[in-house]
Amino acid sequence: MLLCYCNKDNDNPIDICSGFKNEVYKYPHFVCTDSIDCFQKHKESLLLPEQYIKCSSTDSLSRTCLNYPLFSLIWVYSSLQEGFDHVIKIFNGFDELFNRDDVNIELIKIYQQMDPDSVNSISEPVDRGEFMTQFTFIEITLSQYQLINKLTHEEVYLLLGLCLEQYYYKSNISSFSWIGEMSILAIMARILESINYEPFTSEITENPDLQYFISVADLAGLTIDKMEEIAQIIITCSENYLAEQKTTNP
């Protein structure tokens, strides 16, 4: 696809990406007029145009993916990871996003701007629920190995610290509960696993429930005691890693 063309009047190249670079994509409103294959047609209507995919900045593409109207499908599968895998299959935005070199830092910037405590100022239950799901959407995205495995050392330190901060906020807000904590714990657990942090890798070997959680990013089916045990292991190891890094690289 040509990214520019020449104006016949002055032969100056005109950038046809100028209208896409920093714009969050506006998904079309879909109305089903035929009950046959309605969902399939809805999915197809939400696919991003090729020009937008190629021209959009990583920041605008990140926000576009996080705004995907069918992102909530992650809740209808047996685990968050299985749900996210399905979303990737039906939507063409994430493949492009995950191939961007600056995707991690752009997603982290967005995550830094999100304040869990803001949920307390939202009165309508539906709006509160929508606000909280935005955290799950970005956290389950950040927990993907396609992104985790290419974090720089600086990004590991930054993201782990940010996740701990957000987790502390969430844990003091009853609205989030353990459902709102799963995705943020998944980020931290997968980071610690990917960098082979020894205290944590030993915990993985000895704890099948922790192994399972890391693979599915979901605590459903576990007892409250097991949930708390897994959370504590992840939090403690994350805190210890950051403390060690701060001592080593003050």
Task: List alpha helices for 56-181, DSSP H.
Answer: 58-66, 80-90, 93-98, 103-112, 125-142, 145-148, 153-171
The domain locations on the chain are 25-248
- Report the pLDDT averaged over residues 169-185: 87
Of 168, 185, 65, the residue nearest 115 (C-alpha): 168
**What one-character DSSP code corresponds to residue 232?**
H
CB count within 10 Å of CB 232 equals: 10
Confidence (pLDDT) at 9: 46
pLDDT tops 70 at residue 92: yes
Compute the C-alpha angle 192/76/147, nearest 5°.
30
pLDDT band at 4 (very low <50, low <70, confident <90, very high): very low
Span 122-174, pLDDT tens digits: 889 899 889 899 999 999 999 999 999 999 999 999 999 999 999 999 888 87
**Dihedral through CA 37, CA 42, CA 48, CA 49, nearest 10?**
60
Q: What is the pLDDT of residue 250?
A: 64
What are the pLDDT digits (tens) for 102-126? 999 999 999 999 999 898 888 898 9
CA 135/CA 111 separation, integer angstroms: 8
Among the listed ranges 18-27, 194-203, 236-245, which one has the minimum average pLDDT value?
18-27
pTM of the model: 0.90
